[in-house]
Structure formats: C-alpha cells, structure tokens
Structure 1
Amino acid sequence: MSHIHTEANDPLVIDNAEAARLLQGAPWRRFAVMGDSVAEGIGDPSPGYATSPWADRVAAALRVGQPDLEYLNTGRMGAATRSVIRHQLDQVIDFGPDLVHITCGANDLWQSDPDIEALAHNLDHLFRTVAKQGAQISTVAFADAFIGPTMGPMRSRIHTLNEIVRELAQDYDAILLDLWEHPLRLRTDLLSADLVHFAMSGHAVVASEMIKALATAAQPRHRVA
C-alpha cells in the first residue's frame, strides 16, 4: 500500500463532516473509555495528520450531534486487566456512562507464561460489570501488525486475546471493531518508533472505523426497547 501523506487524501479516513453525518441521531451522551495505552491514545505524531488520539476523535464526532456529551478516558499506559479493574472500573461506573469502550489485555501477555484463564476472567468481569449498568459496550480486536524482534513473538498471543474479545463481544452484545485483517495493518508507517503503538495516522483510521461501527449500532433496528 502506498504511503498516504495527509488526512485529506487518506481513503481510510472520513472527514469531520462525514463523521457528523454518520453519528447524527446517535443516542449516547456519556462516553467513557477504559483500559491500557490503546485506550489512553499513545502514539507518535504523523506528518499531515492531527495529533489527536482515536478516542478523542470519536468523542468530538459524537459531540457534534450531542453538544452536551460528557467524555471520560481513564486509559493508562501499561495497565493490565487486573489494574483496570482495581484503578479504573469504579471511576467509570461512577461516571454513569451510556457508552463504554473497553480495550485491555495485551499487557497481561508480556509475562513469560501468561495466565490466559485469568485474563479471560478479568475481561469478563469488566464487560459484565459495565453491561449490568445498562451501558452499550464497544471494544476492538487488534490488527495483525506485529513485526520485529519485540512484537513478532506476541502475534499468537494477541490472536488468542482477540478470540477472547470476540466471544465477549458476542456474549455482551458489544460493538466490535475487528482490525485483525484490516488493510491498515499493511502500512509501512503505521507504527510509532517503539514498534508497538499506532502513530497518529493509525489513530485517524481507527477513529473512522469506530465511528462507522457506532453509526451502524445506532440505527433503530439495533436499539433495545
């Protein structure tokens, strides 16, 4: 895939007007994001792209249709699932959200012998607790972009994490953004210098895809009476 220089000509990025059109009439007024560095929005700047993490972009798009939208992001770099439960979950619940994005689990996998059963249990606890509050959950399955000596060995573990997330999304009627085979993964300038986190060009694409997923979920046929 050829290099894309700016948001203006990136075919995978929707502009602000299209984002606002897609989310016109979306019901959510209290948007919370919880989890790890992906939730927090870590990433290097990209020339030609706004330095704005994906979740901030989504919140801005939602706010066009809901000017009184409240937005909370508790994401923290390095947070494993147990840390999210201990240090973020109560804050998110107290916020009283009607839309909650949950992204975590990758940091649990850095151990030499990760406890996949505990990881799945912790994620289920997060999803279940949020669902009991009546909030719509969104989540993401990570892109297959794991290269180099640091991240290459993580590929199979991330694949396992994605399978857990897909099952939870089905169990809790969550909006799932599945990026595993998304063409974004083929871009040579996708990753930050750490070869772990998406650069801001990647954040722009993730935001666009999340906005489209939210717009689909907001259609009347998807609402629960």
Structure 2
Amino acid sequence: MAIDSMLIAELSDPFCLTAGEADTLLDGHPWHRFAILGDSVAEGLTDPVDGYHPLAFPDRVRVELARHRPGLAHRNLGVRNLRAAEVLATQLGPALAFRPDLALVICGANDAMRPGYEARADAVDATLAALIRPLQAAGARVVTVSLFVMPAYPSMPAWLGPAFSRRMSMLGRRTTALAETLGTIHVDLATHPAIGTGDALTGADGLHGNGRSHAIAAAEMIRRLSREIQGA
C-alpha cells in the first residue's frame, strides 16, 4: 500500500500538507547535499500517530527534497540529549566535511529546559551562531527552527521547575531573533496555531513531538523552503 493512502488524518489536517503539495512547493529546488545537526529533534525522536507520516520532520523533508533531486546526498548527525555546545563540538566538523548546500540546525532546547537558562541564554545564542556562521561561510543555506512551546508540560519532572514553558518560549524568541540577525531560513513554530487546538502534539514522554507535530513541522519547513526557492 502506498504510504500516501495511509495518511488519512494528515491529509485532512488544516495545518499539514495536502496531497501533492510538497511536490509543487519544492519543484526546481537547488539543493544537492542536506545536513541535519542537533539534538533529539534533529535525530528524529517521535511517537507515531495513526494517519500521519511515520517519519520525523527532518527526514520527512529529506525525502520530499529527494523526490526532485534523486541523487540528493544527506547526513543526519543529530544525537539526543546534547546541549548546544556539545552539538558544536561534535557535529560541526563532520557537517563541514560533508559540504552541504542546505543545513538544518536544531538545538538549544536541552539548555533552555533546565533552570538557570536565563543566565546562560547569551552563551547559548553565541554557540548557535558559532554553528551557523561556518556553515554559511562554506556555502550552505542554513535552516533554523523555533520549536513548538506548549502552555504547560505536566509530565515533566518537578526538578525542571514550573517555569519550564517560559524558558522554552524564551529560547523560541531568541532563536527567531538570532535567525533574523544571521539571515537563516527560519521556521517559527513556537506560537503555531496548532498549539491552541487542544489536540495533543507531544508523545508519550510529554516533551517530544508526536507524529502530528512532526507532520506540521515538515509542512512549515517545506512551505518556508518554497518561499526561498521563489526568492520571496
């Protein structure tokens, strides 16, 4: 059975791609080498949801890009639990060696989720910039993401503190501001309208996005890439 025939819920979800939309949006894209850097979101940690595509959004985007570029080379360097400095130390070198012309950078959440992020926020921003600038200098268009921020995370351990959502919102705002400064292709999900629908976007751990949230994120990134392709 073709996978599209299994996406009953996704194809009727107002925040997701319609049938054939990705093909239209990415037609003629210029990218040949796609690198993914970051933490668990980049790695693709998610829980499946019936009726939605099984791939996490970074790999879903990679598949859609490859439809128009069958020889697309890709490398996903994402590793769960890493803070931004660890991503910089372990992934930037391999990413540059891969010579991407498109790079997705997703990290900072493991810094922001912990108490005391407010005092470390400038350092996290500087680390993100130290990841992004060399990729840009090497010729890659860099995509950054401000992740979905839930109003509350009731499943999170008490030690993370009651201000967990506020810290994640702060990371989202700062990532968006940094993206504007550095000129990245930015996907802002932090205040996406899907958050207010009452439908679950998190998986069993109460933190990482489920299949629906990844489908929405893929749609937003593909739409944003389309605007880049069109020069908008």
**Normalization by structure 2: what TM-score?**
0.88
Tell me, in whole angstroms, the C-alpha distance in 2 between the residues paired with 1:18 and 1:110: 35
Q: Cα offset for 1:143?
A: 2.0
Match for residue 116 of structure 1?
A: 121
Q: What is the Cα deviation at residue 146 of structure 1?
A: 4.3
Q: Which region of structure 1 is more displaced relative to structure 2, 182-191 or 205-214? A: 182-191
**Percent sequence identity over matched residues?**
34
Separation (CA, whole Å) in 1 of partners of 2:194 and 2:45: 17
Amino acid at match of 2:89: R
Aligned partner of 1:77 in structure 2 is 80
User: What does 1:86-105 correspond to in 2, within 5 Å?
Assistant: 86-105=89-108
Aligned to 2:56: 53
Q: Whole-Å Cα distance in 2 between the matches of residues 156 and 22 of structure 1?
A: 34
Query: 1:168: how far off?
Result: 2.0
Contact persistence 1:85–1:126 (CA under 8 A): yes
- The RMSD of aligned alpha carbons is 1.8
Letter in 2 for 1:133: A
> d(CA) in 1 for partners of 2:96 and 2:19?
30
Contact 1:41 1:55 in 2 (8 A): yes
1:7 and 2:10 correspond: yes
Q: Deviations over 1:24-82 (max 9, x none)?
A: 01101111110011111111110112311101111111111111111111111101011
Letter in 1 for 2:121: I
How far apart in 2 are the matches of 1:86 and 1:210?
A: 26
1:211 maps to 222
Aligned to 1:23: 26
Partner of residue 198, structure 1:
209
Runs of at least 5 residues in structure 1 that lack an aligned partner in the other structure: none
* CA shift digits 1:82-113 (9 cap, x unpaired): 11011111111111000011110010124432
3-state SS in 1 of match to 2:129: helix
Alpha-carbon distance in 1 for matches of 2:50, 2:172: 30
Alignment partner of 1:166 out of 155, 159, 176: 176
**8 Å contact from structure 2 (residues 11, 19) kept in 1:** no
Indicate which of 114, 138, 144 corresponds to 2:143: 138
Separation (CA, whole Å) in 2 of partners of 1:215 and 1:31: 16
Number of aligned residue pairs: give it: 218
Instruction: Report the residue type matching 1:191 in the other structure.
Output: T
Q: Which amino acid aligns with 2:167?
A: R
SS at match of 1:6: helix
Partner of 1:183: 193
Q: TM-score, normalised by structure 1?
A: 0.90
Question: SS of the counterpart of 2:48?
Answer: coil
SS of the residue corresponding to residue 20 of structure 2 reads helix
> Is the alpha carbon distance of 1:66 and 1:16 closer, same or farther for their aligned partners in structure 2, counting shifts above 3 Å?
farther
Matching of residue 148 in structure 1 with residue 153 in structure 2 = yes
Structure 2 CA distance, aligned partners of 1:173 and 1:121? Answer: 15
Q: What's the CA shift for 1:5?
A: 6.7
Unaligned runs of 5+ in 2: 1-6
1:127 alignment partner in structure 2 = 132
2:27 alignment partner AA:
Q
Aligned equivalents of 2:64 and 2:215: distance in 1? 12
